[in-house]
Structure 1
Amino acid sequence: MHTIDTVSRDPGRHRVLTGDRPTGPLHLGHYFGTLQNRVRLQSLGVELLLVVPDYQVLTDRDVADRPAEHAENLVLDYLAAGVDPDRAVVFTHSAVPALNQLLLPFLSLVSVAELGRNPTVKDEIAHSRRSGVSGLMFTYPVHQAADILFCKADLVPVGQDQLPHLELTRTIARRFNERYGTRVFPEPEALLSAAPLLLGTDGDKMSKSRGNAIPLGATADETARLLRGAKTDTDRHITYDPDRRPEVSSLVLLAALCQDRAPEEVAEEIGHGGAARLKQTVTEAVNEHFRPLRARRAELAGDRGHLRRILRDGNERANAIADTTLAEVRAVMGMV
């Protein structure tokens, strides 16, 4: 396992693959959980690939809702956060046919039981609110393995809870290499980050699909309105105690992240000011911290053609990588 600190010792030898499903706008949890670290990795000189896995949206719904629009908006959020498209490859899953061809040989390397035990699949099924799930749902972790392995990424940013999923990708790489007697794929390692867990306004995990998030592109007034409705508790004295007071502590942490301060210091400063003072502090901190990002985002949003050109260029670069990998795979499988 690696951290950003260990990667910084030799950043040029690493290739990182990560991405976000195009199901809606990115929010503050994404920014502090992943976007900041992507920009840091890019600044260090790590080769960065960002996939927009539009096909994977179909795993938990019949029809992908406005996938092209959502893909462009993801690019918009990436650029506003500081991702440099000249140094990172930003591409859509569906635009890289050779990547998706890897799904078939990879599926032959795992059992149905292994797919059913995968935490990602189990969690998605639990939250799908459906009486049955599609066959594509069970291929979800293998599709993600193809995303990672097509470019031979050696590092994948994950949280501690996502380690079991990455292990399936490592298993697929290892089994392929063993079956065909040559090392085609690296076994990618986890790039762990101490990503802060920010709760949504309802006290549950901040999520695009649960309607409890504050989008990166929210205006100052929208941010204030959303935070006014955030769940707290009845104790007027504000403290930072994530175990006993998760909702209050998440708001304190959000202000602390925006101000680059310790959450305990923020809580002590608010003291007996209660929930009203807490929400005011958080609102001011968020709006001040994200003011430059939101200004960049608004400017970039005026040129949708620029966003499409970035995706077209990224798709071309990703296709070149995928074609090379698929040719190598077909050769070792004896299919040339």
Structure 2
Amino acid sequence: MRARVVSGMRPTGALHLGHYHGALKNWVRLQDQHDCFFLVADWHALTTSQPEPEALANRVYDMVVDWLAAGVDPDRATLFIQSKLPEHAELFTLLAMHTPLSWLERTPAYKDWLSRAGTENASYGFLGYPLLQAADILIYQANLVPVGEDQAPHVEITREVARRFNHRHGSTVLTEPEALLTDTPRLPGLDGDKMSKSLGNTIAMRDTPEATTDKVRRMPTDPQRVRRSDPGEPSRCPVWPLHQIYTDADTRSSLAQGCQRASIGCLDCKQPLIDAIVREQQPWRERAEAWLAQPKQLQWVVELGTERARTVARQTLREVRDAMGLAY
């Protein structure tokens, strides 16, 4: 039996390079080694905003297209939409009967939200999102949850919820998952800050070569290199961290020397980066176009994955109900 992995994303629409290098690249690797369940966490998207129904649907399928374009294979991994499985909501409700309120109130995201928005703007759904996240994981009896180090506390809450449930009912009904710590590089955006849609500084996975070229060319560079003849320092340049991901050591060494000696300009330095990103994007665009040309097949992939997930979710719920004395 292969270890089971569960992970997911809120539906934000078409994805960017940060999503790929932070999560999708790892998902593609994991699907060859583990039994993977990847969910569109659309209920989680409602905890902090209320998008228009049509907009939400478009975001869901735009995101799934990018999963498939990145190489996530529905024959090797289970892809599904959270809201199509009311079993998640039922387990969330049953776990709520066991979970102390203080566990949810102490989560950093909730405390940060209260400090910014105030209690009157914090919904019960947002307070309970760590428990819904725990239900998403526990209902598939996940062994591993891939996260960056900063997200490990989210998995620990899930472990505590499972441990409390098992202790109270005197049996190991729910699997305590382990955090699978992954190297998720902080991909800089066009302004040097973390790449994020909310900051408007992204390069989309499916951007055209022209759009990618234009975006990278407009990125700020070493602020102390005012003229082309001024020597630069790559460590001060917001573009350089992208080179660490996209160009090889020899290329970086040559570019660094050229920058420090002022023998090349900033656009000369950016061109190998542009070429590398465009090469990476090409197969994504091709795969995405194939899926977009057959929307019914795209929906079928999601429906098939949802039914596959439902089989596992229902089995877990039966065991939970039995343990709680609800099998009547």
TM-score, length of structure 1 as denominator length: 0.87
Q: Classify 1:262/1:158 alpha carbon distance in 2 versus 1 (closer, same or farther; 3 Å).
A: farther
The answer to whether residue 133 in structure 2 is matched with residue 144 in structure 1 is yes
Q: Classify 1:264/1:179 alpha carbon distance in 2 versus 1 (closer, same or farther; 3 Å).
A: farther
Residues 173 and 186 in structure 1, CA contact (< 8 A), matched pair in contact too: yes
Which residue matches 1:52?
A: 40
Q: 1:315 aligned to 306, 316, 324, which one? A: 306
- 1:214 and 1:161 map into 2 onto residues whose CA distance is 24
Query: SS of the residue aligned with 1:70?
Result: helix
Which residue matches 1:87?
A: 76
Alignment of 1:274-313 (within 5 A): 274-313=265-304
Q: Classify 1:206/1:331 alpha carbon distance in 2 versus 1 (closer, same or farther; 3 Å).
A: same
Which residue matches 1:77?
A: 66
Residues 119 and 164 in structure 1, CA contact (< 8 A), matched pair in contact too: no
Which residue matches 2:228?
A: none
Q: Classify 1:130/1:202 alpha carbon distance in 2 versus 1 (closer, same or farther; 3 Å).
A: farther
Query: SS of the residue aligned with 2:6?
Result: strand
Residue 107 (structure 1) shift: 2.1
- 1:129 and 1:276 map into 2 onto residues whose CA distance is 46
Stretches of structure 2 that go unaligned for 5 or more consecutive residues are: 226-230
- 1:32 and 1:262 map into 2 onto residues whose CA distance is 22
The answer to whether residue 318 in structure 2 is matched with residue 327 in structure 1 is yes
Residues 25 and 208 in structure 1, CA contact (< 8 A), matched pair in contact too: no
Stretches of structure 1 that go unaligned for 5 or more consecutive residues are: 1-11
- 1:49 and 1:139 map into 2 onto residues whose CA distance is 22
Q: 1:172 aligned to 137, 145, 161, which one? A: 161
Residue 43 (structure 1) shift: 2.2
CA offsets, 1:197-223, max 9 Å, x none? 111112221123332211111111111
The answer to whether residue 131 in structure 2 is matched with residue 154 in structure 1 is no
CA offsets, 1:81-132, max 9 Å, x none? 1111012110001000112111112223333332122123345566779972
Query: SS of the residue aligned with 1:191?
Result: strand
Query: SS of the residue aligned with 1:63?
Result: coil
The answer to whether residue 32 in structure 2 is matched with residue 17 in structure 1 is no
- 2:218 and 2:114 map into 1 onto residues whose CA distance is 29
- 2:211 and 2:160 map into 1 onto residues whose CA distance is 45
Query: SS of the residue aligned with 2:222?
Result: coil
Would you say how many aligned residue pairs link Structure 1 and Structure 2? 318
Residues 81 and 306 in structure 2, CA contact (< 8 A), matched pair in contact too: yes
Q: 1:62 aligned to 6, 30, 50, which one? A: 50
Residues 222 and 233 in structure 2, CA contact (< 8 A), matched pair in contact too: no
CA offsets, 1:277-312, max 9 Å, x none? 333332121002221222222222111111100111
Which residue matches 1:7?
A: none
Q: Classify 1:179/1:247 alpha carbon distance in 2 versus 1 (closer, same or farther; 3 Å).
A: same
- 1:110 and 1:262 map into 2 onto residues whose CA distance is 54
Alignment of 1:148-297 (within 5 A): 148-236=137-225, 237=231, 239-241=233-235, 245=236, 247-253=238-244, 257-259=245-247, 261=249, 264-265=252-253, 267-268=255-256, 271=259, 272=262, 273-297=264-288
TM-score, length of structure 2 as denominator length: 0.89
Residue 276 (structure 1) shift: 2.4
Which shows bigger deviation, 128-137 or 16-25?
128-137
- 2:118 and 2:215 map into 1 onto residues whose CA distance is 26
RMSD: 2.3
Q: Which amino acid aligns with 2:209?
A: A
Residues 239 and 267 in structure 1, CA contact (< 8 A), matched pair in contact too: no
Residue 26 (structure 1) shift: 1.2
Query: SS of the residue aligned with 1:89?
Result: strand
Q: Classify 1:317/1:262 alpha carbon distance in 2 versus 1 (closer, same or farther; 3 Å).
A: farther
Residues 13 and 58 in structure 2, CA contact (< 8 A), matched pair in contact too: no
Residues 60 and 128 in structure 1, CA contact (< 8 A), matched pair in contact too: no
Residue 269 (structure 1) shift: 5.8
Q: Classify 1:311/1:302 alpha carbon distance in 2 versus 1 (closer, same or farther; 3 Å).
A: same
- 1:209 and 1:266 map into 2 onto residues whose CA distance is 35
